[in-house]
Structure 1
Amino acid sequence: MDWLQVVVLAVVQGLTEFLPISSSAHLILVPVLTAWEDQGLAFDVALHLGSLSAVVIYFRQEIWQMMTSSLAAIRGKGVDKDARLGFWVVLATIPVCLIGFLIQNIIADQMRSTLIIGISLIGFGLLLGYADWRMRGTRSEYQLRLKDVLIIGGAQALALIPGTSRSGITMTAALLIGMSREGAARFSFLLSIPVIVLAGGLEAVKLLQVPQSIDWLAMLAGTLLSGFSAYVCIHYFLVVIKKLGMQPFVIYRVLFGAWLLWFFHF
Protein backbone atom coordinates (compact mmCIF):
# COMPACT_ATOMS: atom_id res chain seq x y z
CA MET A 1 0.00 0.00 0.00
CA ASP A 2 1.14 3.53 -0.68
CA TRP A 3 0.70 6.24 1.96
CA LEU A 4 -2.24 7.89 0.24
CA GLN A 5 -4.16 4.63 0.47
CA VAL A 6 -3.24 4.27 4.15
CA VAL A 7 -4.46 7.79 4.97
CA VAL A 8 -7.68 7.57 2.95
CA LEU A 9 -8.74 4.18 4.31
CA ALA A 10 -7.89 5.09 7.91
CA VAL A 11 -9.76 8.40 7.82
CA VAL A 12 -12.76 6.87 6.02
CA GLN A 13 -12.95 4.10 8.61
CA GLY A 14 -12.56 6.47 11.54
CA LEU A 15 -15.18 8.94 10.35
CA THR A 16 -17.80 6.56 8.99
CA GLU A 17 -17.68 3.94 11.76
CA PHE A 18 -19.73 6.14 14.07
CA LEU A 19 -21.60 8.43 11.71
CA PRO A 20 -25.01 7.10 10.54
CA ILE A 21 -23.82 6.86 6.91
CA SER A 22 -22.49 3.27 6.72
CA SER A 23 -18.77 2.57 7.08
CA SER A 24 -19.11 -0.71 5.15
CA ALA A 25 -20.58 1.12 2.16
CA HIS A 26 -17.70 3.56 2.02
CA LEU A 27 -14.99 0.95 2.55
CA ILE A 28 -16.49 -1.36 -0.08
CA LEU A 29 -16.63 1.48 -2.57
CA VAL A 30 -13.07 2.77 -2.09
CA PRO A 31 -11.49 -0.07 -4.11
CA VAL A 32 -14.37 0.10 -6.61
CA LEU A 33 -13.72 3.76 -7.30
CA THR A 34 -9.92 3.53 -7.27
CA ALA A 35 -7.27 1.26 -8.75
CA TRP A 36 -5.99 0.24 -5.33
CA GLU A 37 -5.52 -3.40 -4.48
CA ASP A 38 -7.24 -4.87 -1.44
CA GLN A 39 -5.55 -3.63 1.71
CA GLY A 40 -5.53 -7.07 3.36
CA LEU A 41 -6.82 -8.48 6.64
CA ALA A 42 -3.95 -7.14 8.72
CA PHE A 43 -4.74 -3.55 7.84
CA ASP A 44 -8.46 -4.15 8.45
CA VAL A 45 -7.59 -5.34 11.96
CA ALA A 46 -5.48 -2.21 12.50
CA LEU A 47 -8.35 0.06 11.42
CA HIS A 48 -10.78 -1.70 13.76
CA LEU A 49 -8.28 -1.38 16.60
CA GLY A 50 -8.07 2.36 16.01
CA SER A 51 -11.86 2.80 16.04
CA LEU A 52 -12.16 0.63 19.15
CA SER A 53 -9.49 2.61 20.96
CA ALA A 54 -11.28 5.88 20.18
CA VAL A 55 -14.67 4.85 21.56
CA VAL A 56 -13.13 3.19 24.64
CA ILE A 57 -11.08 6.31 25.43
CA TYR A 58 -14.01 8.64 24.85
CA PHE A 59 -16.38 6.64 27.07
CA ARG A 60 -13.73 5.45 29.54
CA GLN A 61 -15.58 6.76 32.59
CA GLU A 62 -18.89 5.15 31.59
CA ILE A 63 -17.14 1.87 30.76
CA TRP A 64 -15.31 1.85 34.09
CA GLN A 65 -18.55 2.48 35.96
CA MET A 66 -20.33 -0.29 34.05
CA MET A 67 -17.53 -2.76 34.77
CA THR A 68 -17.22 -1.99 38.48
CA SER A 69 -20.98 -1.91 39.00
CA SER A 70 -21.45 -5.17 37.08
CA LEU A 71 -18.82 -6.91 39.21
CA ALA A 72 -20.50 -5.57 42.34
CA ALA A 73 -23.86 -6.87 41.11
CA ILE A 74 -22.35 -10.30 40.49
CA ARG A 75 -21.12 -10.29 44.09
CA GLY A 76 -24.69 -9.64 45.22
CA LYS A 77 -24.39 -5.94 46.05
CA GLY A 78 -27.36 -4.89 43.96
CA VAL A 79 -27.94 -3.70 40.42
CA ASP A 80 -27.57 0.03 39.86
CA LYS A 81 -28.03 2.04 36.66
CA ASP A 82 -24.46 1.42 35.48
CA ALA A 83 -24.66 -2.35 35.93
CA ARG A 84 -28.01 -2.38 34.15
CA LEU A 85 -26.57 -0.40 31.23
CA GLY A 86 -23.69 -2.86 30.94
CA PHE A 87 -26.15 -5.74 30.81
CA TRP A 88 -28.22 -3.94 28.15
CA VAL A 89 -25.12 -3.48 25.97
CA VAL A 90 -24.37 -7.20 26.12
CA LEU A 91 -27.99 -8.22 25.52
CA ALA A 92 -28.43 -5.91 22.52
CA THR A 93 -25.31 -7.37 20.92
CA ILE A 94 -26.57 -10.97 20.85
CA PRO A 95 -28.92 -10.73 17.80
CA VAL A 96 -26.30 -9.32 15.41
CA CYS A 97 -23.78 -11.92 16.55
CA LEU A 98 -26.14 -14.85 16.04
CA ILE A 99 -27.50 -13.71 12.70
CA GLY A 100 -24.06 -12.64 11.48
CA PHE A 101 -22.67 -16.08 12.28
CA LEU A 102 -25.49 -17.82 10.43
CA ILE A 103 -25.46 -15.75 7.23
CA GLN A 104 -21.92 -14.39 7.00
CA ASN A 105 -21.23 -16.27 3.77
CA ILE A 106 -24.40 -14.92 2.15
CA ILE A 107 -23.42 -11.38 3.12
CA ALA A 108 -19.90 -11.76 1.78
CA ASP A 109 -20.91 -13.42 -1.51
CA GLN A 110 -24.29 -11.98 -2.48
CA MET A 111 -25.03 -8.69 -0.70
CA ARG A 112 -21.99 -6.48 -1.27
CA SER A 113 -23.25 -4.97 -4.51
CA THR A 114 -23.62 -1.27 -5.32
CA LEU A 115 -27.33 -1.86 -5.98
CA ILE A 116 -27.97 -3.13 -2.45
CA ILE A 117 -25.73 -0.44 -0.94
CA GLY A 118 -27.50 2.35 -2.82
CA ILE A 119 -30.99 1.14 -1.93
CA SER A 120 -30.01 0.64 1.72
CA LEU A 121 -28.45 4.08 1.97
CA ILE A 122 -31.61 5.72 0.68
CA GLY A 123 -34.22 3.52 2.38
CA PHE A 124 -32.71 3.39 5.85
CA GLY A 125 -31.64 7.02 5.51
CA LEU A 126 -35.25 8.10 4.98
CA LEU A 127 -36.28 5.98 7.96
CA LEU A 128 -33.69 7.75 10.10
CA GLY A 129 -35.01 11.08 8.84
CA TYR A 130 -38.57 10.12 9.80
CA ALA A 131 -37.50 8.92 13.26
CA ASP A 132 -35.59 12.16 13.87
CA TRP A 133 -38.40 14.34 12.47
CA ARG A 134 -41.01 12.84 14.79
CA MET A 135 -38.57 12.63 17.71
CA ARG A 136 -40.24 13.72 20.94
CA GLY A 137 -38.31 11.52 23.36
CA THR A 138 -36.14 12.64 26.25
CA ARG A 139 -34.95 9.35 27.72
CA SER A 140 -31.24 8.70 28.15
CA GLU A 141 -29.35 5.43 27.80
CA TYR A 142 -29.84 4.89 31.54
CA GLN A 143 -33.63 4.83 31.17
CA LEU A 144 -33.92 1.90 28.79
CA ARG A 145 -36.27 -1.00 29.46
CA LEU A 146 -35.92 -4.63 28.40
CA LYS A 147 -38.36 -4.19 25.50
CA ASP A 148 -36.41 -1.18 24.26
CA VAL A 149 -33.12 -3.08 24.29
CA LEU A 150 -34.61 -6.01 22.39
CA ILE A 151 -35.91 -3.62 19.71
CA ILE A 152 -32.57 -1.84 19.35
CA GLY A 153 -30.68 -5.14 19.36
CA GLY A 154 -32.95 -6.57 16.68
CA ALA A 155 -32.53 -3.42 14.60
CA GLN A 156 -28.75 -3.67 14.92
CA ALA A 157 -28.87 -7.03 13.13
CA LEU A 158 -30.15 -5.19 10.02
CA ALA A 159 -26.76 -3.50 9.84
CA LEU A 160 -25.42 -6.75 8.36
CA ILE A 161 -26.95 -5.47 5.10
CA PRO A 162 -24.24 -3.30 3.48
CA GLY A 163 -25.28 0.33 3.31
CA THR A 164 -27.58 0.17 6.35
CA SER A 165 -25.14 1.61 8.92
CA ARG A 166 -24.92 -0.01 12.34
CA SER A 167 -24.93 3.33 14.12
CA GLY A 168 -27.69 4.66 11.85
CA ILE A 169 -30.13 1.81 12.38
CA THR A 170 -29.57 1.63 16.14
CA MET A 171 -30.10 5.38 16.47
CA THR A 172 -33.23 5.11 14.32
CA ALA A 173 -34.69 2.41 16.56
CA ALA A 174 -33.71 4.33 19.69
CA LEU A 175 -35.39 7.52 18.47
CA LEU A 176 -38.54 5.62 17.53
CA ILE A 177 -38.89 4.20 21.05
CA GLY A 178 -38.57 7.62 22.68
CA MET A 179 -34.89 8.22 23.39
CA SER A 180 -33.30 11.64 23.02
CA ARG A 181 -30.90 12.22 20.16
CA GLU A 182 -27.91 12.29 22.48
CA GLY A 183 -29.09 9.24 24.42
CA ALA A 184 -29.64 7.32 21.18
CA ALA A 185 -26.17 8.24 19.93
CA ARG A 186 -24.40 7.43 23.18
CA PHE A 187 -26.05 4.01 23.47
CA SER A 188 -25.21 3.31 19.82
CA PHE A 189 -21.57 4.18 20.46
CA LEU A 190 -21.43 1.90 23.52
CA LEU A 191 -22.99 -0.89 21.45
CA SER A 192 -20.17 -0.53 18.93
CA ILE A 193 -17.58 -1.75 21.43
CA PRO A 194 -18.51 -5.46 21.57
CA VAL A 195 -19.36 -5.44 17.84
CA ILE A 196 -15.95 -4.03 16.88
CA VAL A 197 -14.21 -6.41 19.27
CA LEU A 198 -15.97 -9.41 17.73
CA ALA A 199 -15.51 -8.25 14.12
CA GLY A 200 -11.86 -7.43 14.68
CA GLY A 201 -11.33 -10.70 16.51
CA LEU A 202 -12.85 -12.67 13.62
CA GLU A 203 -10.55 -10.91 11.17
CA ALA A 204 -7.57 -11.59 13.44
CA VAL A 205 -8.40 -15.32 13.50
CA LYS A 206 -8.59 -15.36 9.70
CA LEU A 207 -5.27 -13.54 9.57
CA LEU A 208 -3.63 -16.22 11.71
CA GLN A 209 -5.02 -18.92 9.43
CA VAL A 210 -3.71 -17.24 6.28
CA PRO A 211 -0.27 -15.78 7.10
CA GLN A 212 0.76 -12.76 5.07
CA SER A 213 3.54 -10.21 5.10
CA ILE A 214 2.75 -7.25 7.32
CA ASP A 215 3.78 -3.65 6.83
CA TRP A 216 4.01 -2.71 10.51
CA LEU A 217 4.59 0.99 9.85
CA ALA A 218 1.46 1.20 7.69
CA MET A 219 -0.52 -0.68 10.35
CA LEU A 220 0.64 1.69 13.09
CA ALA A 221 -0.20 4.73 10.98
CA GLY A 222 -3.60 3.27 10.10
CA THR A 223 -4.41 2.55 13.75
CA LEU A 224 -3.44 6.05 14.90
CA LEU A 225 -5.22 7.85 12.06
CA SER A 226 -8.35 5.74 12.39
CA GLY A 227 -8.40 6.27 16.15
CA PHE A 228 -7.84 10.03 15.96
CA SER A 229 -10.46 10.61 13.27
CA ALA A 230 -12.96 8.39 15.11
CA TYR A 231 -12.45 10.26 18.39
CA VAL A 232 -12.94 13.63 16.70
CA CYS A 233 -16.00 12.25 14.90
CA ILE A 234 -17.66 11.05 18.13
CA HIS A 235 -17.07 14.36 19.89
CA TYR A 236 -18.38 16.62 17.13
CA PHE A 237 -21.25 14.32 16.16
CA LEU A 238 -22.69 14.65 19.67
CA VAL A 239 -22.38 18.43 19.33
CA VAL A 240 -23.95 18.59 15.86
CA ILE A 241 -27.02 16.48 16.60
CA LYS A 242 -27.95 18.73 19.53
CA LYS A 243 -28.23 21.67 17.14
CA LEU A 244 -29.11 20.17 13.75
CA GLY A 245 -30.42 16.69 14.46
CA MET A 246 -29.90 13.82 12.01
CA GLN A 247 -31.15 15.57 8.88
CA PRO A 248 -27.72 16.53 7.41
CA PHE A 249 -26.76 12.84 7.48
CA VAL A 250 -30.09 11.84 5.95
CA ILE A 251 -29.53 14.23 3.05
CA TYR A 252 -26.01 12.89 2.54
CA ARG A 253 -27.24 9.28 2.53
CA VAL A 254 -29.99 9.95 0.01
CA LEU A 255 -27.71 11.90 -2.34
CA PHE A 256 -24.90 9.35 -2.04
CA GLY A 257 -27.26 6.42 -2.59
CA ALA A 258 -28.89 8.11 -5.58
CA TRP A 259 -25.47 8.82 -7.11
CA LEU A 260 -24.43 5.17 -6.68
CA LEU A 261 -27.57 3.91 -8.39
CA TRP A 262 -27.20 6.42 -11.22
CA PHE A 263 -23.45 5.86 -11.71
CA PHE A 264 -23.46 2.06 -11.63
CA HIS A 265 -26.93 1.09 -12.83
CA PHE A 266 -28.28 3.73 -15.23
Structure 2
Amino acid sequence: MLIAVATYNEIDNLPIFVERLADTLPNVDLLVIDDGSPDGTGDWCLQEAKVNPHIHCLHRQGKPGLGSAIIAAMKYAVAHDYEVMVNLDADLSHPPEMIPLFLEAWEENDPGATVVIGSRYIKGGGIQGWPWKRHMMSKAINFYTRWLLWLPMADCSGSFRAYPVKLLKQVDFDSFLSQGYSFFEEILYHLKREGAQFVEVPFTFVERQYGASKISLQKAMVAVGTIFRLGMKVWFRA
Protein backbone atom coordinates (compact mmCIF):
# COMPACT_ATOMS: atom_id res chain seq x y z
CA MET A 1 0.00 0.00 0.00
CA LEU A 2 1.14 3.52 -0.80
CA ILE A 3 0.13 6.64 1.10
CA ALA A 4 0.51 9.78 -1.01
CA VAL A 5 0.48 13.41 0.11
CA ALA A 6 1.12 16.53 -1.94
CA THR A 7 2.82 19.33 -0.01
CA TYR A 8 3.64 22.99 -0.32
CA ASN A 9 4.87 24.80 2.80
CA GLU A 10 3.79 22.12 5.28
CA ILE A 11 6.88 22.07 7.52
CA ASP A 12 4.72 22.60 10.62
CA ASN A 13 2.36 19.75 9.71
CA LEU A 14 4.32 17.08 7.86
CA PRO A 15 6.48 15.86 10.82
CA ILE A 16 3.33 15.48 12.96
CA PHE A 17 1.55 13.73 10.10
CA VAL A 18 4.43 11.28 9.60
CA GLU A 19 4.51 10.47 13.31
CA ARG A 20 0.76 9.84 13.46
CA LEU A 21 0.89 7.74 10.29
CA ALA A 22 3.73 5.62 11.72
CA ASP A 23 1.76 5.07 14.93
CA THR A 24 -1.23 3.88 12.87
CA LEU A 25 0.49 1.93 10.08
CA PRO A 26 4.18 1.51 10.94
CA ASN A 27 5.20 -0.41 7.80
CA VAL A 28 3.33 1.52 5.13
CA ASP A 29 5.12 3.37 2.34
CA LEU A 30 4.70 7.15 2.16
CA LEU A 31 5.27 9.23 -0.97
CA VAL A 32 5.60 13.00 -0.49
CA ILE A 33 5.23 15.09 -3.66
CA ASP A 34 6.65 18.50 -2.82
CA ASP A 35 6.49 21.44 -5.22
CA GLY A 36 9.63 23.28 -4.13
CA SER A 37 8.37 24.44 -0.73
CA PRO A 38 10.45 27.46 0.34
CA ASP A 39 9.82 26.64 4.02
CA GLY A 40 11.98 23.49 3.88
CA THR A 41 9.25 20.85 3.70
CA GLY A 42 11.02 19.04 0.87
CA ASP A 43 14.40 19.20 2.61
CA TRP A 44 12.91 17.73 5.79
CA CYS A 45 11.38 14.90 3.78
CA LEU A 46 14.67 14.18 2.06
CA GLN A 47 16.47 13.91 5.39
CA GLU A 48 13.80 11.59 6.79
CA ALA A 49 14.01 9.38 3.71
CA LYS A 50 17.71 8.77 4.43
CA VAL A 51 16.87 7.05 7.72
CA ASN A 52 13.41 5.67 6.98
CA PRO A 53 13.14 3.31 3.98
CA HIS A 54 9.34 3.69 3.96
CA ILE A 55 9.50 7.41 3.09
CA HIS A 56 9.97 8.48 -0.52
CA CYS A 57 10.19 12.04 -1.84
CA LEU A 58 9.35 13.43 -5.25
CA HIS A 59 10.58 17.00 -5.68
CA ARG A 60 9.15 19.18 -8.43
CA GLN A 61 10.15 22.67 -9.50
CA GLY A 62 7.64 25.48 -9.36
CA LYS A 63 3.95 24.81 -8.62
CA PRO A 64 2.55 22.69 -11.49
CA GLY A 65 -0.70 22.16 -9.61
CA LEU A 66 -2.25 19.89 -7.01
CA GLY A 67 -3.91 17.68 -9.60
CA SER A 68 -0.66 17.06 -11.44
CA ALA A 69 0.97 16.14 -8.11
CA ILE A 70 -1.65 13.45 -7.46
CA ILE A 71 -1.29 12.20 -11.04
CA ALA A 72 2.46 11.86 -10.40
CA ALA A 73 1.68 9.84 -7.26
CA MET A 74 -0.73 7.59 -9.16
CA LYS A 75 1.85 6.96 -11.88
CA TYR A 76 4.36 6.12 -9.13
CA ALA A 77 1.89 3.66 -7.58
CA VAL A 78 1.35 2.01 -10.97
CA ALA A 79 5.07 1.86 -11.76
CA HIS A 80 5.87 0.26 -8.40
CA ASP A 81 2.95 -2.19 -8.57
CA TYR A 82 1.16 -1.28 -5.35
CA GLU A 83 -2.31 -2.73 -4.76
CA VAL A 84 -3.91 0.40 -3.37
CA MET A 85 -3.00 4.07 -3.06
CA VAL A 86 -4.45 6.23 -0.31
CA ASN A 87 -4.40 9.96 -0.95
CA LEU A 88 -4.95 12.50 1.80
CA ASP A 89 -3.78 15.95 2.85
CA ALA A 90 -0.71 16.44 5.02
CA ASP A 91 -2.19 19.43 6.88
CA LEU A 92 -3.87 17.13 9.47
CA SER A 93 -7.37 17.93 8.23
CA HIS A 94 -7.60 14.26 7.22
CA PRO A 95 -6.89 11.98 10.21
CA PRO A 96 -4.43 9.23 9.22
CA GLU A 97 -5.99 7.13 11.98
CA MET A 98 -8.98 6.69 9.62
CA ILE A 99 -6.95 4.85 6.96
CA PRO A 100 -7.55 1.34 8.43
CA LEU A 101 -11.30 1.94 8.09
CA PHE A 102 -10.78 2.85 4.44
CA LEU A 103 -8.84 -0.37 3.91
CA GLU A 104 -11.58 -2.42 5.55
CA ALA A 105 -14.17 -0.90 3.21
CA TRP A 106 -11.89 -1.52 0.23
CA GLU A 107 -11.28 -5.18 1.14
CA GLU A 108 -14.96 -5.88 1.92
CA ASN A 109 -15.92 -4.98 -1.65
CA ASP A 110 -14.17 -5.73 -4.95
CA PRO A 111 -10.57 -4.61 -4.22
CA GLY A 112 -9.78 -4.28 -7.91
CA ALA A 113 -12.63 -1.88 -8.64
CA THR A 114 -13.63 -0.18 -5.38
CA VAL A 115 -12.77 3.46 -4.74
CA VAL A 116 -13.23 4.43 -1.09
CA ILE A 117 -14.17 8.07 -0.55
CA GLY A 118 -13.84 9.89 2.74
CA SER A 119 -17.16 11.72 2.86
CA ARG A 120 -18.03 14.86 4.77
CA TYR A 121 -21.59 14.82 3.46
CA ILE A 122 -23.05 11.52 4.60
CA LYS A 123 -24.36 10.58 8.05
CA GLY A 124 -21.49 10.59 10.53
CA GLY A 125 -19.36 13.01 8.49
CA GLY A 126 -18.87 16.72 8.95
CA ILE A 127 -16.66 19.80 8.80
CA GLN A 128 -15.17 21.81 11.64
CA GLY A 129 -13.65 25.27 11.43
CA TRP A 130 -14.97 26.58 8.13
CA PRO A 131 -16.68 29.96 7.63
CA TRP A 132 -20.19 29.79 6.19
CA LYS A 133 -19.02 31.02 2.78
CA ARG A 134 -16.70 28.06 2.37
CA HIS A 135 -19.47 25.68 3.45
CA MET A 136 -21.74 27.13 0.78
CA MET A 137 -19.04 27.00 -1.89
CA SER A 138 -18.26 23.34 -1.13
CA LYS A 139 -21.91 22.28 -1.15
CA ALA A 140 -22.49 24.16 -4.40
CA ILE A 141 -19.52 22.58 -6.18
CA ASN A 142 -20.65 19.12 -5.08
CA PHE A 143 -24.20 19.65 -6.35
CA TYR A 144 -22.86 21.15 -9.58
CA THR A 145 -20.49 18.20 -10.11
CA ARG A 146 -23.05 15.50 -9.39
CA TRP A 147 -25.48 17.08 -11.84
CA LEU A 148 -23.00 17.76 -14.65
CA LEU A 149 -20.95 14.56 -14.43
CA TRP A 150 -23.71 12.18 -13.29
CA LEU A 151 -21.71 11.06 -10.27
CA PRO A 152 -23.42 9.06 -7.53
CA MET A 153 -21.45 10.02 -4.41
CA ALA A 154 -22.32 12.72 -1.87
CA ASP A 155 -18.76 14.08 -1.64
CA CYS A 156 -17.15 14.64 -5.05
CA SER A 157 -14.56 17.26 -4.10
CA GLY A 158 -12.68 15.80 -1.15
CA SER A 159 -9.20 14.35 -1.54
CA PHE A 160 -9.27 11.72 1.24
CA ARG A 161 -9.61 8.53 -0.82
CA ALA A 162 -8.30 5.02 -1.46
CA TYR A 163 -7.79 4.05 -5.11
CA PRO A 164 -7.20 0.50 -6.41
CA VAL A 165 -4.05 0.62 -8.53
CA LYS A 166 -5.47 -2.04 -10.85
CA LEU A 167 -8.10 0.50 -11.87
CA LEU A 168 -5.61 3.37 -12.13
CA LYS A 169 -3.69 1.37 -14.74
CA GLN A 170 -6.68 1.76 -17.07
CA VAL A 171 -6.81 5.56 -16.83
CA ASP A 172 -5.28 7.77 -19.54
CA PHE A 173 -3.81 10.53 -17.40
CA ASP A 174 -2.56 12.39 -20.48
CA SER A 175 -6.18 13.12 -21.39
CA PHE A 176 -6.92 15.01 -18.17
CA LEU A 177 -8.06 18.61 -18.35
CA SER A 178 -7.32 19.30 -14.69
CA GLN A 179 -4.05 20.39 -13.15
CA GLY A 180 -5.54 21.90 -10.01
CA TYR A 181 -8.39 21.25 -7.59
CA SER A 182 -10.86 19.98 -10.20
CA PHE A 183 -8.69 16.88 -10.50
CA PHE A 184 -10.63 15.30 -7.63
CA GLU A 185 -13.88 15.54 -9.57
CA GLU A 186 -12.30 14.57 -12.88
CA ILE A 187 -10.67 11.39 -11.59
CA LEU A 188 -14.09 10.19 -10.39
CA TYR A 189 -15.49 10.86 -13.87
CA HIS A 190 -12.73 8.76 -15.49
CA LEU A 191 -12.91 5.96 -12.92
CA LYS A 192 -16.68 5.71 -13.32
CA ARG A 193 -16.18 5.24 -17.05
CA GLU A 194 -13.74 2.41 -16.25
CA GLY A 195 -16.37 0.60 -14.19
CA ALA A 196 -15.39 1.67 -10.69
CA GLN A 197 -17.72 1.18 -7.77
CA PHE A 198 -17.71 3.78 -5.02
CA VAL A 199 -18.00 3.38 -1.27
CA GLU A 200 -18.24 6.40 1.05
CA VAL A 201 -16.86 6.32 4.59
CA PRO A 202 -17.87 9.20 6.88
CA PHE A 203 -15.21 11.36 8.47
CA THR A 204 -15.00 14.81 10.03
CA PHE A 205 -12.80 17.32 8.22
CA VAL A 206 -11.03 19.63 10.68
CA GLU A 207 -9.63 22.89 9.31
CA ARG A 208 -5.86 23.13 9.50
CA GLN A 209 -4.23 24.64 12.61
CA TYR A 210 -0.86 25.44 11.05
CA GLY A 211 -0.06 27.08 7.74
CA ALA A 212 -2.40 28.62 5.19
CA SER A 213 -4.98 27.03 2.94
CA LYS A 214 -3.95 26.89 -0.72
CA ILE A 215 -7.48 27.26 -2.11
CA SER A 216 -8.51 30.67 -3.49
CA LEU A 217 -11.50 32.10 -5.33
CA GLN A 218 -9.49 32.19 -8.56
CA LYS A 219 -8.54 28.49 -8.24
CA ALA A 220 -12.13 27.62 -7.39
CA MET A 221 -13.39 29.38 -10.53
CA VAL A 222 -10.84 27.56 -12.68
CA ALA A 223 -12.12 24.30 -11.19
CA VAL A 224 -15.73 25.24 -11.97
CA GLY A 225 -14.78 25.93 -15.59
CA THR A 226 -12.95 22.62 -15.96
CA ILE A 227 -15.87 20.66 -14.51
CA PHE A 228 -18.19 22.44 -16.95
CA ARG A 229 -16.00 21.33 -19.89
CA LEU A 230 -16.12 17.75 -18.61
CA GLY A 231 -19.86 18.02 -18.15
CA MET A 232 -20.32 19.02 -21.77
CA LYS A 233 -18.57 15.78 -22.78
CA VAL A 234 -20.98 13.78 -20.63
CA TRP A 235 -24.12 15.50 -21.85
CA PHE A 236 -23.18 15.52 -25.55
CA ARG A 237 -22.19 11.84 -25.34
CA ALA A 238 -25.59 11.10 -23.80
TM-score bucket (shorter structure): under 0.3
Higher relative contact order (CA 8 A, sep 6+): 1
Q: Which has the higher helix share?
A: 1
TM-score, normalising length: structure 2: 0.28
Q: Which has the higher strand share?
A: 2
Q: Which has the larger radius of gyration?
A: 1
